[in-house]
């Protein structure tokens, strides 16, 4: 101001702390030289952001700064301070994590902070580098941790047990190594695993009885997990691409046989007996995956045509007693719409069904479906709308209409959303009044 009045310094501490939360930690500390009012403001900031070693004279200087700051904020003068609301570590292609000594520094910071922060985010983005193994041998114990976000981090323990974190409700992992046998948490409510790497020889057992939402998005490698009962599950999104190991390399939607020597996807479906971590073997007479999702209210299941886990599970298809909203893509059309019929007959209170078709029909070797339809029993009488999303109204759409009407769904409840192949072009909806 022209008058020379410092209006920013007159703001209350909680507002200043909110503003400082957008700055890197070193800039927060430097505010102590602005004026007498600012000398102690940084000492009680509720959130910290560390943006790596860029701009520092050396990695050692950055590491020393973090060591001293955490020591001061977490336990100054022998007195344990209040926990931080949030802490971010963002190592973005600065080369810091390429040194084993620096990885040890970072591992020590995480062990120090995990019991002193409510929300912890760790992001490691290094060119041509495997995910950093920061969470090896970690058995977290914290009364405060509610949210954990890991990006580009290796989580390679045999078992990750969050039982010591009773307040933890959200876990997000992206581009991580997750070579685990088990994930355990009695409190976790929201789990998202996206574009991660897991073992092709064994599955991760997930014991998460309080889970409300689950997202499994495009494994870069690995198999879908083995789910224990999820009684609180409300919403699940599962997207399996061509890199998922639960696929048949002979292009059979239901697999080519467990003993096929030329197809690792089918051969190791129930684990590799020569691989110690694959034991105990899974029950070959029960569902691997769908049973764990059977209590969801909203379900989205998308997969490439040769991913076999959904179709194989139909042999022991559970009843989806709470399911109201269902989204499927082309995989449900194999074997004369075997999976589609299965869901129509096993979702008694289904209200909305969406089927998204690819631009071109997938190439798959057709066989008889593993699910045996329950006669001509009709779909849910609560079903309000079926939406078919397609780029072309082709024979697939005609066959879907035939199946839906056969199982008691009138045409007036079926909405076809036609999207143009040309980007930016209009899409339009219409209701079919008849077909041949």
**Predicted confidence band of residue 128 (pLDDT cuts 50, 70, 90):** very low
pLDDT at 268: 66
pLDDT at 348: 92
The alpha carbon dihedral of 405, 408, 411, 417 has a sign of negative
**What does DSSP assign to residue 303?**
E
Q: What is the pTM of this model?
A: 0.88
Among the ranges given (107-116, 173-182, 267-276, 330-339), the one the predictor scored with the smallest mean pLDDT: 267-276
pLDDT at 78: 47
Chain CA centroid to CA 260, Å: 31
Of the candidates 220, 216, 110, the one whose C-alpha atom is nearest the C-alpha of residue 171 is 216
- 184-188 long-range contacts, CB within 8 A, separation 24+: 184/159, 184/160, 184/208, 185/161, 185/210, 186/210, 187/162, 188/162
pLDDT at 278 over 50: no
pLDDT at 126: 63
pLDDT at 79: 46
pLDDT at 147 over 80: yes
Average model confidence (pLDDT) across the chain: 83
Among the ranges given (98-102, 115-119, 210-214, 381-385), the one the predictor scored with the smallest mean pLDDT: 98-102
> Which alpha helices (DSSP H) does 226-369 contain, by range?
264-267, 309-313, 334-346
pLDDT at 192: 97
Of the candidates 265, 264, 176, the one whose C-alpha atom is nearest the C-alpha of residue 220 is 176
**Predicted confidence band of residue 122 (pLDDT cuts 50, 70, 90):** very high
Examine residue 161 and say whether the peptide bond preceding it is cis (omega within 30 degrees of 0).
no
pLDDT at 183 over 50: yes
Span 9-28, mean pLDDT?
90
396 phi/psi in degrees, rounded to 5: -60, -40
Beta bridge partners of residue 154, listed in sequence order: 177
- Give 342's contacts (C-beta < 8 A, 6+ positions apart): 314, 317, 371, 373
Span 55-68, mean pLDDT?
89
Among the ranges given (65-74, 370-379, 398-407), the one the predictor scored with the smallest mean pLDDT: 370-379
**Predicted confidence band of residue 135 (pLDDT cuts 50, 70, 90):** low
> What percent of the chain lies above the pLDDT cut of 70?
79
Span 358-380, mean pLDDT?
63
Q: Do residues 289 and 310 lie in contact, with contact meaning Cβ atoms separated by under 8 Å?
A: yes
d(CA 424, CA 153) in angstroms, rounded, equals: 38
Angle formed by the axes of helices 59-74 and 100-113, to 10°?
10
Per the model's pLDDT, the better-predicted residue between 366 and 244 turns out to be 244
Q: Do residues 353 and 386 lie in contact, with contact meaning Cβ atoms separated by under 8 Å?
A: yes
Of the candidates 434, 436, 384, the one whose C-alpha atom is nearest the C-alpha of residue 409 is 384
Per the model's pLDDT, the better-predicted residue between 242 and 190 turns out to be 190
Counting every residue written for the chain, the total comes to 436
- Give 352's contacts (C-beta < 8 A, 6+ positions apart): 324, 325, 326, 383, 384, 385, 386, 387
d(CA 336, CA 11) in angstroms, rounded, equals: 68
Among the ranges given (42-51, 95-104, 220-229, 405-414), the one the predictor scored with the smallest mean pLDDT: 95-104
d(CA 224, CA 244) in angstroms, rounded, equals: 8
Span 94-114, mean pLDDT?
84
pLDDT at 386: 94
pLDDT at 283 over 90: no
**Predicted confidence band of residue 427 (pLDDT cuts 50, 70, 90):** low
Longest dimension (CA), the chain: 86
**Element holding 104 (H helix, E strand):** helix 100-113
């Amino acid at each position: 101001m022209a008058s020379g009045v410092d209006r920013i310094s007159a703001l209350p501490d909680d507002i200043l702390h909110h503003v400082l939360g957008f700055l890197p930690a070193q800039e927060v500390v430097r505010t102590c030289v602005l004026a007498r009012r600012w000398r102690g403001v940084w000492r009680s900031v509720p959130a910290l952001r560390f943006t790596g070693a860029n701009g520092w004279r050396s990695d050692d200087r950055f590491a020393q700064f973090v060591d001293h700051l955490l020591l001061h904020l977490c336990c100054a003068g022998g007195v344990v301070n209040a926990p931080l609301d949030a802490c971010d570590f963002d190592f973005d292609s600065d080369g810091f994590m390429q040194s084993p000594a620096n990885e040890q520094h970072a591992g020590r910071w995480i062990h120090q902070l995990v019991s002193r922060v409510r929300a912890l985010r760790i992001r490691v983005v290094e060119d041509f580098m495997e995910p950093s193994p920061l969470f090896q041998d970690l058995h977290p114990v914290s009364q405060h941790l509610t949210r954990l976000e890991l990006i580009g981090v290796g989580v390679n323990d045999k078992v990750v047990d969050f039982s010591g974190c009773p307040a933890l409700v959200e876990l997000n992992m992206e581009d991580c190594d997750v070579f685990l046998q088990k994930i355990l948490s009695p409190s976790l409510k929201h789990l998202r695993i996206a574009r991660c790497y897991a073992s092709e020889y064994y599955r991760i057992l997930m014991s998460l009885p309080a889970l409300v939402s689950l997202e499994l998005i495009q494994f870069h490698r690995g198999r879908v997990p083995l789910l224990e009962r999820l009684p609180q599950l409300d919403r699940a999104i599962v997207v399996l691409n061509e890199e998922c190991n639960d696929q048949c390399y002979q292009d059979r939607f239901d697999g080519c046989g467990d003993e096929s020597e030329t197809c690792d996807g089918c051969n190791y479906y129930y684990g590799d007996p020569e691989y110690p971590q694959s034991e105990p073997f899974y029950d070959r007479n029960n569902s691997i995956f769908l049973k764990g999702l059977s209590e969801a209210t909203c379900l989205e299941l998308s997969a490439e045509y040769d991913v076999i886990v959904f179709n194989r599970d139909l042999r022991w298809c559970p009843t989806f007693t709470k399911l109201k909203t269902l989204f499927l893509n082309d995989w449900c059309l194999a074997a004369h719409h075997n999976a589609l019929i299965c869901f129509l007959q096993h979702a008694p209170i289904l209200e909305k069904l969406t089927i998204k078709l690819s631009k071109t029909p997938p190439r798959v070797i057709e066989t008889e479906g593993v699910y045996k339809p329950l006669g001509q029993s009709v779909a849910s009488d609560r079903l309000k709308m079926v939406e078919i999303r397609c780029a072309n109204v082709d024979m697939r759409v005609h066959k879907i209409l035939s199946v839906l009407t056969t199982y008691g769904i009138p045409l007036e409840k079926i909405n076809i959303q036609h999207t143009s192949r040309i980007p930016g072009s209009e899409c339009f909806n219409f209701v079919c009044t008849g077909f041949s």
